[in-house]
Amino acid sequence: MYLPDFDYHSPESIDEALSLLANLGSGAKVLAGGTDLLHKMKQGDLAPKALVSLKGLDKLKGINYVEGRGVVIGALSTQNDILYSEVLAKKYPSVSHAAKKMASNQIRHLGTVGGNIVNAVPSADLPPILIALGASITLVSTSGKREMALEEFFVEPASSVINEGEILTEIVIPDGDLTGSSYHKFGLRRSGALAVVGVAASARVAGGVIEEARIVCASSAPKVIRTPKAEAFLAGKSPAPEVLEELQAIVESEVRPRDSIRGSAEYRRNLAGVLAKRALVDAVESGHGLPAED
Ligand SMILES: Cc1cc2nc3c(=O)[nH]c(=O)nc-3n(C[C@H](O)[C@H](O)[C@H](O)COP(=O)(O)OP(=O)(O)OC[C@H]3O[C@@H](n4cnc5c(N)ncnc54)[C@H](O)[C@@H]3O)c2cc1C
């Protein structure tokens, strides 16, 4: 469990970090909180020749509301930064709630939202709620900058559209007219456990009718996925018991879970449907607030 040898670079600006990554090529990895990367290196799964640490880059930190853009979350914001953010508490407490469901205090103190996204594991807790809220991301490299919807970032387990030499700099939750959102996670323990299944929901509700909804599932397919049939079904409905029963059936038909040590495919499929109902009800009833049982 020792780390292999590597060169450590601590750039003082984003431009310096990007130049380093461009010059070092495929032998280099970006280091944020290190909770995944250093673990993989200790396990012998990865042996990068160089690590380019983002820790000194203050421009990648902070969670702010920017008029005309929305809530801008620096990629180096930790899970605890998200949990305790006053901006998120006011605008989207469901995002803080998702962070609260993650790992332990020690890991939350180090692990960043950027690492949680770039890691691209299907069980990650922050992407579902960020996708439900329509978040976009910015990737920069020495070749320029590109922005995309977060939901377009993931390809398959541990694989995304990020290119060598790119840094994820920020996540933006745009201003919009969604009236509520929530995240429900089922783990094998109440804390410190990865999601057996996680489901985020967001909704725009007027006069008790759902005008638009998003249902986003983690640990239910090879990547975090939206459920388009369920979302289309919900438009124009109210969350009556019979609607929720049908929602569960549709979500169960859309997810593609696999058997794993955390649960069988069949169990996870059922769980995704059940959590979708709970997440939707909370999104509709409690605005962007915390689920009723918290
Ligand atoms: C005990 C334990 C419990 C955990 N529990 C949970 C949990 O409950 N829920 C959950 O979702 N996750 C969990 N995790 C996983 C992990 O903590 C998170 O995914 C964390 O957010 C990763 O962020 P990091 O800053 O540590 O990433 P790092 O380990 O530093 O990096 C991870 C990967 O992302 C790349 N990277 C990081 N930041 C950037 C960037 N800005 N631009 C480009 N590339 C970047 C790195 O090169 C690396 O490939 C757990 C991990 C541990 C060890």
Q: What is the pLDDT of residue 292?
A: 57
Alpha-carbon distance 106 to 108, whole Å? 6
For residue 65, pLDDT over 80 is answered with yes
Cβ(107) to ligand 1 under 6 A? yes
Rounded to two decimals, what is the model's pTM? 0.97
Alpha-carbon distance 227 to 131, whole Å? 12
Ligand 1: which of 20, 35, 139, 162 to mutate, judged by most atoms within 8 Å of the beta carbon?
35
* Among the listed residues 60, 13, 6, the one whose alpha carbon sits nearest the alpha carbon of residue 38: 6
Q: What is the pLDDT of residue 193?
A: 87
Q: What is the pLDDT of residue 287?
A: 82
Instruction: Please compute the mean of the pLDDT values over residues 233-250 and round it to a whole number.
Output: 97
**Ligand 1 atom nearest residue 168's Cα:** 42
Alpha-carbon distance 287 to 165, whole Å? 39
Amino acid in position 209:
V
For residue 204, pLDDT over 80 is answered with yes
> Can you read off the two tokens belonging to residue 149?
């919807």
* Among the listed residues 60, 43, 174, 65, the one whose alpha carbon sits nearest the alpha carbon of residue 118: 60
Q: Where do the H-state alpha helices sit in 9-72?
A: 14-24, 37-43
Instruction: Please compute the mean of the pLDDT values over residues 23-50 and round it to a whole number.
Output: 97
Region 59-173: CATH code: 3.30.465.10
Cβ(168) to ligand 1 under 6 A? yes
For residue 294, pLDDT over 60 is answered with no
Ligand 1: which of 14, 36, 42, 43 to mutate, judged by most atoms within 8 Å of the beta carbon?
36
How far is the centre of ligand 1, averaged over its atoms, from the C-alpha of 22 (Å)? 22
pLDDT band at 293 (very low <50, low <70, confident <90, very high): low
Architecture of domain 7-53: 2-Layer Sandwich (3.30)
> Can you read off the two tokens belonging to residue 141?
């490299």
Measured CA distances, 209 to 57, 88, 228 (Å): 45, 26, 18
**Ligand 1 atom nearest residue 32's Cα:** 30
Instruction: Please compute the mean of the pLDDT values over residues 8-35 and round it to a whole number.
Output: 98
Instruction: Please compute the mean of the pLDDT values over residues 151-180 and round it to a whole number.
Output: 96
100 or 292: which carries more pLDDT confidence? 100
Query: Domain-by-domain residue ranges, the chain?
Result: 7-53, 59-173, 180-285
β-bridge pairing 50-53 and 7-9 = parallel
> Can you read off the two tokens belonging to residue 250?
């549709």
For residue 56, pLDDT over 90 is answered with yes
Residue keyed to tokens 């919009």: 176
pLDDT band at 189 (very low <50, low <70, confident <90, very high): confident
What residue's CA is closest to ligand 1, atom 50?
A: 103
What is the chain's length? 294
What integer best gives the mean pLDDT of the chain?
96
CATH 3.90.550.10: does it fit domain 180-285?
Answer: no
Q: What is the pLDDT of residue 290?
A: 66
- Summarize pLDDT for 106-145 with one digit per residue, the tens: 999 999 999 999 999 999 999 999 999 999 999 999 999 9
**Ligand 1 atom nearest residue 108's Cα:** 17
Alpha-carbon distance 217 to 185, whole Å? 10
> Considering only 34-43, 102-111, 134-143, 189-198, which range has the smallest mean pLDDT?
189-198
Residue 35, classified by CB atoms within 10 Å of its CB into exposed (0-12), middle (13-18) or buried (19+), is: buried
Cβ(73) to ligand 1 under 6 A? no
pLDDT band at 23 (very low <50, low <70, confident <90, very high): very high
Alpha-carbon distance 48 to 25, whole Å? 10
What residue's CA is closest to ligand 1, atom 36?
A: 115
How far is the centre of ligand 1, averaged over its atoms, from the C-alpha of 270 (Å)? 28
